[in-house]
Amino acid sequence: MDYLCSDEYSLTLSAPVEIEGRFAGVAAADVYLRHFEAAILPLQRRLPRPAHLVNARGRVAASSDPAHLAGSLTKGPDFGELLAEATPAEHGGLRLVPCHGIPLALVLAEG
């Protein structure tokens, strides 16, 4: 997550590109956080409890939880370690679920 010259948070998303099984390069895009959140929020609202997505530093990327606004920091465990381990965990009444394939974790509020 970065703070662009436009004074808005953005995500840089990238993925390797393969052609016939061989590495051909990297595709990447900068996405405003507000656009990312608008795309994710309908999915989060379907969850049984308030939730937010955080990066390895605990910065909120999208949230259906009014206590955790996009761009804010979430106090909690070492989210970087959680993402490296790639296994769900509990912390202080929160359910933490790493998102496989992307460096974000879903944080579910107490239910």
The partner residues of 57 in beta bridges, in order of sequence, read none
Q: Is residue 94 part of a domain?
A: yes
> Over 90: is that where the pLDDT of 89 sits?
no
DSSP one-letter string for 65-85: -TTS-TTPBPPSS-HHHHHHH
Give the per-residue pLDDT at 1: 54
**What's the CA gap between 41 and 81, in Å, rounded?**
25
For the record, the structure tokens of 55 come out as: 């990066």
Task: Render pLDDT for 25-67 as a digit per residue (tens, 0 to 9).
Answer: 999 998 888 899 999 999 999 999 999 999 989 999 999 998 8
Range of the domain at 96: 33-108
pTM (predicted TM-score):
0.79
Confidence of residue 4 (pLDDT cuts 50, 70, 90): low
Q: What's the CATH number where 60 sits? A: 3.30.450
Give the per-residue pLDDT at 106: 93
> Over 90: is that where the pLDDT of 76 sits?
no
Up-side HSE of residue 102: CA atoms within 13 Å toward CB?
A: 14
Up-side HSE of residue 47: CA atoms within 13 Å toward CB?
A: 20
Give the per-residue pLDDT at 5: 67
In whole numbers, what is the pLDDT of the chain averaged over residues? 87
Query: Domain total for the chain?
Result: 1
Q: Is residue 64 part of a domain?
A: yes
Q: Is residue 9 part of a domain?
A: no
Where do the H-state alpha helices sit in the chain? Answer: 33-45, 79-85
